[in-house]
């Protein structure tokens, strides 16, 4: 390995006490490959195992904590103890080569397709449809449903512990339910859960409390709790960077192990306020990095690009598409073979890359997501 890449392979110990062997995480990526019942499938177990070993930490695709929060076909569930056998296999498939396994827990809210839900009716903070063609108007959640959902995240955390995962990541990003409560677009409530910025923080903060309580009650060994956030949204009115800086300031006092910032490009500034050109990840790191480690992500493809990002002081980088095209990305960097890292997706490479059919079909047919070559 070249000396300049040593920063990538430095160990890190989280505040919970969990030690990871390097600074690379696999970003959570939807794969559409679980059983229709919500069970973990054999094909996805193989997909996860192929990409484990080299990376320090693997964050799974999101698992729904309650049936009314399912967001994708082929998504696995963590809403019932009957799923524990498959979840245990999933944790073990990731951990078999020394990688830490984190399961992302989530509720889709108004983004959940009606046809996937028991009552065909998405719910959200308020009865406001997303700003996209054909979006369904969700039903506003009742007080009881809010409390049930908060409890469901705690129950999901207990199942993650029982299944042997090393941690959970609370999915508060990408326009799903937790973000919907924080957003002034989707949250028009006039009770304690809406209105002011402070009130719009209450639901995600209650989720954090529920998850931490489950860890205190059930974890017998150190257990990671992370949180993923989107710093802005395009809706109007929508989340602005200043809102997020106030929110992360509060999150940083909750004893989380990390805050994962979801953006398309590590170096990009605000897309809502063009005069704010500094990287949003770096701004968040400057705000809270002395209290909570920040995970950066976004269009960092080569080890040189990853090192450049780490040199800002941001301690972790999550890679997604890079590990789809090159499962052995870390191994090749460590072996001094970084020139052999695949940067395109060959249409003939599905079997070699161990990618399940539902995910493969999307990768080769959705233009612009991956550089596909014949």
Q: What pLDDT was estimated at residue 97?
A: 85
Q: pLDDT tens for residues 143-202?
A: 999 999 999 999 999 999 999 999 999 999 999 999 999 999 999 999 999 999 999 999
Q: pLDDT tens for residues 82-108?
A: 999 999 999 999 998 899 999 999 999
Q: What pLDDT was estimated at residue 96?
A: 86
From the candidates 47, 48, 176, 258, give the one annotated as an active-site residue.
Answer: 176
Q: pLDDT tens for residues 24-44?
A: 999 999 999 999 999 999 999
The answer to whether the CB of 292 falls within 8 A of the CB of 226 is no
DSSP H stretches of helix in the chain:
42-50, 84-95, 143-162, 177-182, 197-200, 202-218, 241-251, 280-288, 303-310, 321-325, 329-334, 350-353, 357-365
Domains of the chain (ranges plus CATH)?
A: 3-373 (3.20.20.70)
The answer to whether the CB of 192 falls within 8 A of the CB of 202 is yes
Q: pLDDT tens for residues 303-338?
A: 999 999 999 999 999 999 999 999 999 999 999 999
Q: Quick one: three-class SS letters along 6-22? A: HHHHCCEECCCCCEECC
d(Cα 80, Cα 313) in Å, to the nearest integer?
Answer: 40
Helix, strand, coil shares of the chain as percentages rounded to 5? 40, 15, 45
Query: What mean pLDDT, rounded, does the chain reach?
Result: 97
176 carries an active-site annotation: yes
The token pair at 38 is: 């919500």
User: Taking 90 as the threshold, does the pLDDT of residue 369 lie above it?
Assistant: no
State the number of CA atoms in the 13 A half-sphere of 100 facing the CB.
27
């Amino acid at each position: 390995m070249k000396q300049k890449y040593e920063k990538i392979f430095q160990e890190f110990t989280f505040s919970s006490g969990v030690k990871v062997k390097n600074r690379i995480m696999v970003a959570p990526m939807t794969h559409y490959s679980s059983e229709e019942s919500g069970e973990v499938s054999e094909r996805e177990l193989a997909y996860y195992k192929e990409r484990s070993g080299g990376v320090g930490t693997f964050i799974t695709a999101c698992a729904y904590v309650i049936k009314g929060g399912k967001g994708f076909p082929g998504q696995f569930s963590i809403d019932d103890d009957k799923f524990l056998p498959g979840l245990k296999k999933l944790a073990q498939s990731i951990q078999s080569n020394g990688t830490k396994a984190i399961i992302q827990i989530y509720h889709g809210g108004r983004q959940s397709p009606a046809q996937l839900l028991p009552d065909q009716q998405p719910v959200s903070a308020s009865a406001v449809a997303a700003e996209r063609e054909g979006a369904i108007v969700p039903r506003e959640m009742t007080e009881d449903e809010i409390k049930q959902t908060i409890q469901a995240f705690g129950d999901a955390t207990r199942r993650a512990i029982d299944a042997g995962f090393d941690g959970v990541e609370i999915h508060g990003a990408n326009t799903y339910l937790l973000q919907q409560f924080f957003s002034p677009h989707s949250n028009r409530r006039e009770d304690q859960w809406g209105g002011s910025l402070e009130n719009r923080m209450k639901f995600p903060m209650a989720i954090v409390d529920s998850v931490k309580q489950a860890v205190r009650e059930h974890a017998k060994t150190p257990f990671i709790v992370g949180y993923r956030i989107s710093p802005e949204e395009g809706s109007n009115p929508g989340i602005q960077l200043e809102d997020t800086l106030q929110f992360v300031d509060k999150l940083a006092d909750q004893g989380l192990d990390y805050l994962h910032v979801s953006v398309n490009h590590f170096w990009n500034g605000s897309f809502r306020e063009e005069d704010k050109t500094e990287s949003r990840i770096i701004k968040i790191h400057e705000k809270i990095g002395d209290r909570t480690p920040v995970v950066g992500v976004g269009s960092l493809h080569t080890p040189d690009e990853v090192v450049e990002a780490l040199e800002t002081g941001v301690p972790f980088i999550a890679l997604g598409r890079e590990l789809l095209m090159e499962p052995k990305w870390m191994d090749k960097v460590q072996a001094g073979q970084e020139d052999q890292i695949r940067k395109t997706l060959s249409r003939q490479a599905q079997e070699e890359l161990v990618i399940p059919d539902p995910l493969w079909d999307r990768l080769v047919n959705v233009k612009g997501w991956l550089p596909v070559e014949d």
